[in-house]
Each structure stands twice: as structure tokens, then as C-alpha cells.
Structure 1
Amino acid sequence: MKEEINAYNNVLELIGNTPLIRLNKVTEKLEGNFYAKVEAFNPGHSSKDRIALYIIEEAEKKGILSPGDTIIETTSGNTGFSLAMVSIIKGYSCILAVSSKSSKDKIDMLRSLGAKVYVCPAHVSADDERSYYNVAKRLHEETKGSVYINQYFNQLNIDAHYKSTGPEIWKQTNGKITHLIACSGTGGTISGTAKFLKEQNPNIRVLGVDAFGSVLKKYHETREFDNDEIYPYRIEGLGKNLIPSATDFDMIDKFMKVTDEESAHSAREITRKEGLFVGYTSGAVLQAIKQYAEEGEFDENSNVIAIFPDHGSRYMSKVFSDDWMNEQGFFDSVNEEEAQKIELIK
């Protein structure tokens, strides 16, 4: 009898069903039980694999995409990597408009996957012709046979997480989740996941994470766009200078803003204390957990699920570079670190 070989047909079959891992040391002083949904276990090392595959396959079903077509998107890096990966398997070209705030590591990874990359200035308004939003739109108009994913204003972004991330968390927790905490950039992850979970139990608290320099928290509280909230910040993939329609603010109970510096140190803390090599945005989530805990959000019976969306490899030239941290002034009297010296054997 011929033995079958147990193998996946391609990397896309590995997307989703990421593990839930208990956080032990980084939350040991906090009330409650804390678990991380570690999206770095996706083949593209981020939660963006889910939307890349889902949106492309929906476009294929509708006849919008055909082999040889070009996929165009605006990205801080992780969505671009996921789209480039899916494009390789499915036979599409990929053009990406990337923010100059994106780490060199991310940009190099996009190019290594064969994507054409346009780096756009980060600190211009969303309606500036040089913004990565408008550059992507222009490239779409100029490129025959192209599809613009437009994750910030695409309902499929929400749907992808409603159909995958939410059900996975509900099953993994046996319905015992009390709090969901996640960053909001496009808003697709937190909105889609929250929608599914609140349909199962409307008492689940959904806690958003925003950046100082972003408009999301203020908009959630007032439903007014305040341009004075916008100023440059370093965290990638978190916060926005516009209001994405992929964010369902009604699904989110509260927002917390976190600083660049504390988020960077929290990312390093996760790696050094939990052995989870996650990225800057994941650090922002842990920092928000600490701040929510200070406000009394959790008690001993809380089962808090934190979505860690990214992988540390995307930030080697930033958060995990002592030189970069020092240049930002992040090694101060409050956050001193002893760097592990490299010993050279001669």
C-alpha cells in the first residue's frame, strides 16, 4: 500500500489557527489571566496574512482578479509582505506604496518578495498627493489590470477577522473570554474580531490601543475629527491620521493611547521575559494592558485576550537595535538597559 506524504500544498494553507499563549512574567503583577493570540505564527509573521488571502480570494470569486493581474496597496509593511507572499503563490504582480516610517527591515523584505516598492513621506496629510494613500490610488489608475486592495476602506478587512480570528479565540477560550485588547490601525482586526465575540457574549469588553499623534481615540469619544491630535510618532501599524471605514467604533468600548518609548520597551520586555519575539505593535498592546490595569479594568476573574499582531524580525533596525533606541532617547533614567556585549574571539 502506497504511503501518503503528509504535506501542505503551499504556505497559504498555514494561515490562521494561531496559538493562544499564556503571558506569565510580563503580567505577573496584574490582576487577571492574560493570554496572547500570537499572529507571528502565520507564515507571513503577522495578522495581515488573514486579510491578504481573504480579500484576494474574494476578488477571484467575483472575477475581479485574473492570473497576471497586479495587486496594489498602501501599507506600513506587514500587509504588503502578506500581499506579496499571496501574490507569488497565485501568480500576481505586486506594487506597494509604503510609508517612510516603515523600518528598513520591512522595506527590504517587501523587495525580497519581488514587490515593486514606492516609499512615500510619512508626515504629510492624508490628502497630500505624496501620501501613500494617494500614491497607491494613482498607481492603480495608471496600471492596467490592477486591483487596489484599499484595506482602510474595505469591508472585507473586517470580514476576514469576523470569519477567522473571532471564532478561533472563542473556541480557544471555550467562551470564557472577558476582555479583548488589540491595536487599531486600519481597524479591521479589532472590529471584525469584536463583532464575532460580542455576538456570542455582548458583555465582552473590547479595548482598543491608539498612539499619541493619532486621531482614533478622540474620534471614538466625540465622533469629531480633530486635526490638532495629529503629529509625528514612531510606532508602525498603529493609529491613523484619518478615519478608516474599516474601523467599527461601535464595537470598541474604550481606547487607550500609548507612547513610542514605553511601547518599544514593552516589546523588548515580551521577548526577554516570555521568549516571544514579537514586534513594536505587540509591545504597544502590552503597554496598554499595563495602563488599563492601572485604571482597574481587570480583576482576578478576568480572562484577557491580547492580539499580538507582528514579529520582531520586522524591527531589527529599530526597536531591537540598541543604537536606534539610544538615538531616540529611549534609554533614559526610567528605562535603563544593560546591553549584552558581543565578545569577539581573536
Structure 2
Amino acid sequence: MHYYESIIDTIGNTPLVKLHRVNKGIKGTILVKVEYFNPGNSVKDRMAIRMVEEAEKNGTLKPGGTIIEGTSGNTGMGLALAGIARGYKCVFTMADKQSQEKIDILRAVGAEVVVCPTNVAPEDPRSYYSVARRLNQEIPNSFYANQYDNPANAMAHYETTGPEIWQQTEGKITHFGAGVGTGGTASGTSKYLKEQKAGIVTVGIDTYGSVFKKYKETGEFDEKEVFPYLTEGIGEDILPENVDFSMIDHFVKVTDKDAALMTRRLAREEGLFVGWSCGSAVHGALEYARQHLTDDDVMVIILPDHGTRYLGKIYNDTWMKDHGFLERTFATARDIVHRRNGQAHLTTVASETPVSEAIRILNKEGISQLPVVNAEGEVVGSLTDSVILHRLIEEPEVRKLNVAEVMDKPFKFVALNSTVDTLSSLIDRENKALLVRDETNAIHIITQADLLAAMTV
């Protein structure tokens, strides 16, 4: 009889599939490594079991223990399967932008899921990074996997993904493409492949709102590059230790929309029912291939996960339309800014300004929101007329305070190419306006009134 002792023994040895349609007009052979053949339907199964094995070896994870991790969903699934096979409990933290399918799947396999806000800084105690670390301290006999900095992540791909690709292509691979999130897949696989053939070019796929591409090209961690985006499982607002920039030769950024549309094309034109970041990886890798590949080149692109994780999002026409990815042609933040005839003036108020003066500015300018800046001109907070009004009604003496004592958190920065649908989804009771930098790095404000005007043009 031939059988496996447990489901985790089926991890790896996923197939390579040749693309025929979405790469039309591009030279070379384009192959994709279809990682949804892993039992947890994603590439993350590989490093999940490796992290558990290493923790068992060094005594960090003991019998009856609890595995804790911050995850966008796929790593959690891999860890959950390992937990079932090895007898561990699992508690996972996730950002609230992740699909409901991912949350439901993790709970279906017995994991506890703690949902945390997306748009907070990594060091914020509410972030899914911080909550995972806190739970690790609070729960006895627990192990925090920390896929971002755990070397077992990249090592898993160095030991399995890289060798599989090398063998499957019989050493003919010339280019390797992969989305970069924690960095383990791209860096570990690339390290093995480059050791076999130094000339292999690795293309890392990033997303707008992430810091990787600019950091690779300049060595600068630019917080201005960080803003909300929708694509799941790719890009970061931190620099994980598993991202080895020396193993990634080039970065290509892909928009949420381009990634979503390519994901749907892969399903309809290639029969590959894959996840959102798969569309990012293919779109970005093909952008590079279109300019650089020759007829003799062979590119392998990692497809990280399965489409079942995104049934309520990119495979849902209504959701796609609501976000401006399908059929609708609503304006972008760039269009809104350009319609102002290039005016870059942004009315702000200094944090040390008296509230009474801020009220005068609001009345004089006929506006409802004010970004608050510090002495260096950095945006550090916000004021809205409705908030000030309520405070004055309750405490008339507020007018004598400085703005810094009453201001709210800063308005969110968004990408210049964000559609009106995306912008409108980010404005709510707690976030009355948005900020955007134009091509000259000048800051503009986008309000509800701007969005209404853009939708009626």
C-alpha cells in the first residue's frame, strides 16, 4: 500500500505549467509553479512546517503548546495543518483587510483568529504584529512563529522550492519571478538557484503602498511610500529579515487593479484558479519579461495560492465594480488633483497654534478639515470643524488650548493612482479626508466633496 502518514507529508513537489495566452507577444518560455497543489493550497505550507520543526528541535515549541502567528491567511493555514498533525493549538492575528474566506478557513481547521486594524503603524499595540507578540507573552507554553524574521522561512524554500524548480527545468531557468511579502519565497528560492547558475535574474514583485522597491534602489526606507492598498499577501510597511535584497535583482510594482484583472485572466484564459497576489506576480513578471526576455530564456513565476480565498472579492463582479476594477471608469486621485489647475496650495495649521486661530482659518478659508503640521512641516494630526464644535459646546475653554492638545490622528495618505471607489471606501466617520502627494511631492487634500464632484463629472 502507498499512503501518507499525515496531510503535511504531501507538501511540495508542485507542478510547473506553461502559460500560453496571458503572455502573448512576449518572448521566451513562461512557466508558473502552481503552489495551490500543496495541502493548504498555498506556498506557505512549505515554510510553516519548517518553522514548526525547527521550534521543536530547539525546544521553543513543546508538547501541548500553542502556535501564535500574525498572518495574511496562508501561513496560518500551513501552521494549522502542522498543529493538527503534531497536536498543537493555534492562535492567529490578521489584519481586517484580509478576505472573510481566509478567516473562515482558519476557524474551520480549529484555529482561533484575532482580527486587528489594517491602517495602523507596525509598532502600534493594535497592529497584528504587536498583538501576536503580546499573545506570545501572555499564553504559557506558546511559540511565536514570526515568519517575517524566522530564518526557517527562507531556508524552507532554499531546501525545497529552489531544488524543485532547478530539477523541473533541467537547469534551463534564466529568470525567476515571485511576489515579495515576508521575503522567504523569493530570497530562499533565489539563493539556491543563483548557487546553481550565477546568471539567473530574480524579479521581485511589489505593490504600490509598500517600501521594497524604493529601498532596493536607494537604500532608503521611505515612510512616504507607505499607504493603504488592497492586494493581500504581498508588500510590507516593514523590512522583514527574510527579505535578502542581494538575492533580488529587480523590483516591479503592480497596482491593485492590474493584479486583480490578471488574476481573473489566469482563471479564464489559462485555467489557473489562483489568488490575488498570483495576478500581481504574473503581471509584474511579464512587464519585466516584455522588455528583457529573448526566445531562448525560461522564466519561472511562483503562483502562491488558490482562488477560493478570494471568492468574495476579485471573483465577485459587484466587489470588482465597487472598487473601480471592472467596467466603471471613475476618476483617480491624480485626476482630482489635476482638475484643480495645478494648484498645490494646502491649508494647514501648526500644532502649537491656538484653537481659536485654527477656527479663524477654517472660517476664512471656508473649509471643514485642516491637516496639522509640526515645526518641520510633517503632517502629525488633523482638525475637523465638527469635532471642534462638539468640544467647544462641552468645554468653551478649549479655544485657549493649542491645536496639539485637541487634534485627531493624521489623515491617511493614499496612492496617486487610487480610484474614486477606493478613495471613498477609505473615508468614514473617523477619517474625514485623505492626503496625496503629486508628482512634485506636493501634498493635496481630498474630501468627500471632491469625491462627489469626481463621480458626477
Q: Tell me the TM-score normalised to structure 1 length.
A: 0.94
SS at match of 1:152: coil
Specify the alignment match of 2:317 in structure 1: 322
Give 1:101's aligned amino acid: K
Compute the displacement of 1:290 (Å): 2.9
Compute the displacement of 1:91 (Å): 0.2
Structure 1 residues 237-272: Cα deviation after superposition (integer angstroms, max 9, x where no partner): 100001111100000000000000010010000010
Structure 1 residues 189-225: Cα deviation after superposition (integer angstroms, max 9, x where no partner): 0000000000011100000000000001011111111
Specify the alignment match of 1:297 in structure 2: 292
Q: Counterparts of 1:103 and 1:250 in 2: how far apart (Å)?
A: 32
Q: Counterparts of 1:105 and 1:21 in 2: how far apart (Å)?
A: 26
Deviates more, 1:172-181 or 1:323-332: 323-332
Structure 1 residues 85-119: Cα deviation after superposition (integer angstroms, max 9, x where no partner): 11011100000010111100000001111111100
Give 1:174's aligned amino acid: E
Specify the alignment match of 1:70 in structure 2: 66
Structure 2 gap ranges (5+): 331-457
Q: Counterparts of 1:230 and 1:62 in 2: how far apart (Å)?
A: 36
Specify the alignment match of 2:90 in structure 1: 94
Q: Counterparts of 2:173 and 2:183 in 1: how far apart (Å)?
A: 20
Compute the displacement of 1:156 (Å): 1.0
Compute the displacement of 1:155 (Å): 1.0
Compute the displacement of 1:63 (Å): 2.3
Give 1:252's aligned amino acid: I
Supply the RMSD in Å over aligned alpha carbons. Answer: 1.2
SS at match of 1:151: coil
Deviates more, 1:26-35 or 1:253-262: 26-35
Report if aligned partners of 2:321, 2:328 keep a CA contact under 8 Å in 1: no
Report if aligned partners of 2:205, 2:285 keep a CA contact under 8 Å in 1: no
Q: Counterparts of 2:292 and 2:221 in 1: how far apart (Å)?
A: 27
Q: Which structure would you say has the larger RCO, counting Cα contacts within 8 Å and 6 or more residues apart? A: 1
Q: Counterparts of 1:99 and 1:208 in 2: how far apart (Å)?
A: 23
1:196-211 aligned at under 5 Å gives the runs 196-211=192-207
Specify the alignment match of 2:175 in structure 1: 179
1:102-117 aligned at under 5 Å gives the runs 102-117=98-113
Specify the alignment match of 1:249 in structure 2: 245
Give 2:238's aligned amino acid: L
Compute the displacement of 1:334 (Å): 7.6
Large movers: runs of 4+ above 6 Å: none
SS at match of 1:17: coil
SS at match of 1:37: strand
Specify the alignment match of 1:306 in structure 2: 301
Give 1:191's aligned amino acid: S
Q: Counterparts of 1:108 and 1:251 in 2: how far apart (Å)?
A: 35
Specify the alignment match of 1:56 in structure 2: 52
Specify the alignment match of 1:7 in structure 2: 3
Specify the alignment match of 2:136 in structure 1: 140
Aligned length, in residue pairs: 330
Q: Does 1:153 align with 2:144?
A: no
Q: Counterparts of 2:261 and 2:78 in 1: how far apart (Å)?
A: 26
Structure 1 gap ranges (5+): 336-346
Specify the alignment match of 1:342 in structure 2: none
SS at match of 1:287: helix
Q: Does 1:235 align with 2:231?
A: yes
Structure 1 residues 153-199: Cα deviation after superposition (integer angstroms, max 9, x where no partner): 11111101000000000000010000000000000000000000000
Say which of 190, 194, 201 aligns to 2:190: 194
Deviates more, 1:125-134 or 1:19-28: 19-28
Give 1:292's aligned amino acid: Y
Say which of 99, 119, 123 aligns to 2:119: 123
Q: Tell me the TM-score normalised to structure 2 length.
A: 0.71
Report if aligned partners of 2:203, 2:285 keep a CA contact under 8 Å in 1: no
